[in-house]
Each structure stands twice: as structure tokens, then as C-alpha cells.
Amino acid sequence: MDFPLTFNEETVPLFCDELAKRDEKLGLIIERFGYPPCWKREPGFETLVYIILEQQVSLASAKAAYDKLKEVLPVVTPEGFLLLDDATLRASYFSRQKMIYTRHLASSVLNKTLDPLQFPSMSNDEIRTELTKVKGIGNWTVDVYLMMALNRTDLFPLGDVALIKSLKETEQVAEAASKEDLASLAMKWAPYQTIAAYLLWHNYLCLRKKKDQQLLVPVE
């Protein structure tokens, strides 16, 4: 297979410039606010736990839960995570549902039905197939992991509220546009849909003066 294209801090501006040539509206974002941050997370179990915590809540709430978890488990491994009881996780702001999801993830890694170490050599579709076998992991979680942990360039998470709002504002898309219409629109930015998403998030946050955050209210 062709290995998926990736990005880093050096190539983000280059890919942004390429998109600006294709789409004047993305170019205007760069003119107004500069290039977006190269949002990046370390690949592995801990990041997957963090992304699960971000499902359907504000990022501030998710970070509070993640920070509490790190207080009791500074190195978040599957083995250590499964030793934490319900009371400890509740004190770390885990909902019952997210306890189930994260424990299932930890068990999947420990019993080797899921091996994140293999992901860098796998295609996006292969990774999606493996991750969505885990209870509680859907396409939004997979997209964010592929984008931020593996730095794959061609993802556009249609389940992200802030991203879709920014897309509609920037591209002047009708509020009633279907997911299919939005996916078709984003395809014009291939193979740099991730970079387009970063620009749209950047625009959203800068307009609302929330540059310290990464994403807002994702929906799985």
C-alpha cells in the first residue's frame, strides 16, 4: 500500500500555503491569524484514554479528569489503569460509561487484541477497523488519534461540533447541509484535509479568543 502522508511542525506551513492557493477563504485565515499550531499528542494507550475522556464534554472537563488521573497514575499504562478501582476513577471524574470504555481499551491492549505499536505501519482504514472494535471508540476518536497522535494529513472529523461550525462559517455553507455534503466539500482539500481542519479550528478559537484550547465539544 501507499504509506499515508504525515505532517510535522516544519511541513504544516507548507501544506497551509498549498491549501491557500486552492481556497481563498483558508488563505484569509492565515492572513488574519497566521498558521495554526501543530497540535500533537504522543501515540499510545494514554492518549487514547485522554481522547475517550474528551468525548461529548468540554475540553476543560476532559482535562480536569485527565489531570486527576495523572495524580494517581503518573504513567498511564494498561496494567496500572486496570488496578484502579471505581472509587478512584469516580474521584478522577470518570463517568460510569467512560470507566467501561477505558477498561475495555486497557484489556484489549493487554490481551493483545489491539496493538497501538503497530499503527504507524498501518493504513488509516486498517487502524479504524481495529480501534472501532473497542467498546466506546467511534469515528471521532479514531480521527483525532490519526490526526494528532499519528499526524496523518487527510482526516476531517465530521463529528466535531466546533469544526463543523467553523466550516459552515468559513465556507458559507447552509446550516441544514448534510454530512454527505460537508464530506464532499472537505474532499476538495485532499490529501490535506487534516491541515484544513487545523486551519478551521484555529479560526474558530482565534475568533472566540480561546487559543489555549485544542478542540471544543466533540461528539462521538
Model confidence pLDDT, tens digit, residues 28-87? 999 999 999 999 999 999 999 999 999 999 889 999 999 999 999 999 999 999 999 999
Determine if the peptide bond prior to 43 is cis (ω within 30°).
Answer: no
Residues 6+ apart with CB under 8 A from 155: 124, 143, 146, 147, 193, 194, 197
Q: Which of 4, 2, 31 has the alpha carbon at shortest distance from 17?
A: 31
Q: Give the chain's mean pLDDT.
A: 93
Domain shared by 69 and 33, yes or no: no
Which residue range is the domain that position 51 belongs to?
A: 45-148
Q: What is the pLDDT of residues 180-219, one digit of tens each?
A: 999 999 999 999 999 999 999 999 999 987 544 444 434 3
Contact 101, 135 (CB under 8 A): yes
What is the chain's Cα-based Rg? 18
Report pLDDT for 58: 87
Domain shared by 17 and 57, yes or no: no
Domain shared by 66 and 137, yes or no: yes
For the segment 146-154, the average pLDDT, to the nearest whole number, is 98
Per the domain annotation, does 144 fall within a domain?
Answer: yes
Number of domains in the chain: 2
Per the domain annotation, does 90 fall within a domain?
Answer: yes
Write out the H or E segment, with its range, that includes residue 70.
helix 59-72
Domain shared by 122 and 173, yes or no: no
Report pLDDT for 2: 63
Of 148, 167, 183, the domain-final residue: 148
Indicate whether 108 pLDDT > 80: yes
Domain shared by 100 and 64, yes or no: yes
Say what percent of the chain tops pLDDT 90.
89
* CATH number, domain with residue 96: 1.10.340.30
Report pLDDT for 52: 97
* CATH number, domain with residue 164: 1.10.1670.40
Specify which residues 160 forms β-bridges with.
218
Indicate whether 1 pLDDT > 60: no
Read off the C-alpha cell for 134.
473497542
Domain shared by 135 and 96, yes or no: yes
Domain shared by 123 and 51, yes or no: yes
Domain shared by 58 and 142, yes or no: yes
Per the domain annotation, does 215 fall within a domain?
Answer: no
CA 82 to CA 85: how far, in whole Å? 8
Domain shared by 199 and 158, yes or no: yes
DSSP code of 189?
G
Residues 6+ apart with CB under 8 A from 166: 200, 201, 203, 204
Domain shared by 95 and 173, yes or no: no
Contact 157, 166 (CB under 8 A): no
Per the domain annotation, does 135 fall within a domain?
Answer: yes
Domain shared by 19 and 89, yes or no: no
Specify which residues 218 forms β-bridges with.
160
Domain shared by 50 and 26, yes or no: no
Indicate whether 13 pLDDT > 80: yes
Question: Is this prediction's pTM over 0.95?
Answer: no
Of 148, 176, 195, the domain-final residue: 148
